[in-house]
Amino acid sequence: MSEAGSPIDAARADGRTTLTEAEAKRLLADAGVPTTEFAVAADPAAAADAAADLGFPVVVKVSSPAVTHKSEWADGAGVALGLDSADAVTAAAERIFEAADEEGIDAEVLVEEARDVDAGTEVIVGGLRDPSFGPVVLTGLGGVFTEVYEDTSHRLAPVSRAEAREAIEELTAAKLLAGYRGRDPADVDALADVVASVGDLVVAHEEIAEVDVNPVLATGDGAVALDALVVLEEVAE
């Protein structure tokens, strides 16, 4: 993998249009979006060491530009949740590397701190470059419910925090964020900051075709990106 300065430069240098999750999260972090703490490991032993440094429990994922839907990859080998020991991390990493070898793809392992998704609401925040309207930012109910409910709001980017908050409050899922049935209300201002930052990111980088941050975990303590995908525009021949 290229060691060029920015994640976008690294992908371009490698002839890729898809960033790895680690690259996408670094890009988001540079844009001001909070992300989980993570490390990328090249072998199972390094993955176990990274987990010990981060603190258990952790999540282990396949890290490869060839794999965009990690949870569906290799019969579920691409994501292992709530691992609470070095042995469990080693086994999950070994499964990922074995599956990558079988498929003939280059892969590493991303090890990240585990977050309690039941403590908040999973939200999708996305950005894209529409052929007619230019940069667009969207938000909606995230996680496994994104395609089920299709509850999203869209705005032309860039957007202010106030405009982002209006988009969030349009959602049917807004009642979940407000503290539905005794749940603690989410920090909607923090979530609005994520929406605005993703919009700014798409505006600032014409190379970006699509940003998909799903889920963003919105809790009373803020909003943090748990997963992310960035796709670049094709380079004209």
Domain ranges in the chain are: 37-113, 117-232
Taking the C-alpha atoms of residue 61 and residue 66, their distance in angstroms, rounded to an integer, is 13
> What does the alpha-carbon distance between residue 215 and residue 145 come to, in Å, rounded to a whole number?
10
What is the CATH architecture of 37-113? 2-Layer Sandwich (3.30)
Task: Provide the 3-class DSSP secondary structure of residue 58.
Answer: strand
3-state SS of 90-124?
HHHHHHHHHHHHHHCCCCEEEEEECCCHHHCEEEE
Q: Do domains 37-113 and 117-232 have the same CATH topology?
A: no
pLDDT score of 3 more than 60: no
The number of helix segments (H) and strand segments (E) in the chain equals 8, 10
User: Which pLDDT band holds residue 2 (cuts at 50, 70, 90)?
Assistant: very low
Question: How confident is the model over 181-191, as pLDDT tens digits?
Answer: 778 899 999 99
CATH architecture of structural domain 117-232: 2-Layer Sandwich (3.30)
In the chain, the percentage of residues whose pLDDT exceeds 70 is 95
pLDDT tens digits along 194-218: 999 999 999 999 999 999 999 999 9
- Dihedral sign, CA of 227, 76, 53, 106? negative
